[in-house]
Amino acid sequence: MDIQKELLEFSKSKIIRRVCVVSVVIILLLLSFRLGVWVGNKKGTFACQYSENYERVFGADRFGTRGFPEDIFREDMGGHGSMGKIVSIHLPTIVITNPSNTETTVYIGNNTVVRKLRENIAIDNLVVGDVVVILGSPNSQGQINAALIRVLPSPPESSSATSSSIPLIPSSTNLLQP
């Protein structure tokens, strides 16, 4: 019984309490440091994967030497959207190609809305050859997480009346000519 009394008195001493409090504080600091390392590692991994797919997400360098777009009427919409023709469907992803033949992989999630004209349609109604506009956000694999897919009507057949020499969107070179 003397040993129990001695241990009880020893545990009630101020030195032991201070050692326990300091130990708990050090353990909490080490755990918070470890949590910071883990979060930093996750952010670094995402940034690395994102930078490896930067060109696939944002396309080739479109900006001139002054930082302005060289072609203001470009066909794609950057990392948050794209426009083009469906060339491959392997749900939950589709691949589209824009008029400059850049392929973009689009991930279709459960919350993706697919519309044709004014009505919602099922994802299964998408077919290869459909012209679509995609709005969404880029992910670390270089894909677009689609929030909205709008199926556009098929472009009209080219005829002699529509193939005039007047461009629909003036290019910068046409603006400079008299």
Q: The tokens of 153 are what?
A: 């009507």
Specify if 60 maps to a domain. no
Looking at the structure, do residues 83 and 140 belong to the same domain, yes or no? yes
Specify if 111 maps to a domain. yes
Each residue's pLDDT tens digit, 41-72: 988 888 777 777 666 655 555 444 444 444 44
Residue 152 phi, psi (nearest 5): -90, 155
* 155: DSSP letter: P
Q: Which residue has the tokens 């749900």?
A: 91
Specify if 58 maps to a domain. no
Tell me what pLDDT residue 103 has. 87
- In angstroms, rounded to a whole number, what is the distance separating the alpha carbons of residues 104 and 75? 13
Query: In a 3-state reduction of DSSP, which class is residue 41?
Result: helix
Specify if 65 maps to a domain. no
Residue 19 structural domain: 2-49
Tell me what the mean pLDDT of segment 86-110 comes to. 89
Tell me what pLDDT residue 171 has. 45
Mean pLDDT over the full length of the chain: 76
pTM as predicted: 0.47
- In angstroms, rounded to a whole number, what is the distance separating the alpha carbons of residues 113 and 149? 6
What are residue 136's DSSP bridge partners?
A: 146
- In angstroms, rounded to a whole number, what is the distance separating the alpha carbons of residues 45 and 4? 54
What total of structural domains would you count in the chain? Answer: 2
Specify if 177 maps to a domain. no
CATH number of the domain enclosing 103: 2.40.50.140
Looking at the structure, do residues 23 and 84 belong to the same domain, yes or no? no
Looking at the structure, do residues 43 and 83 belong to the same domain, yes or no? no
Specify if 73 maps to a domain. no
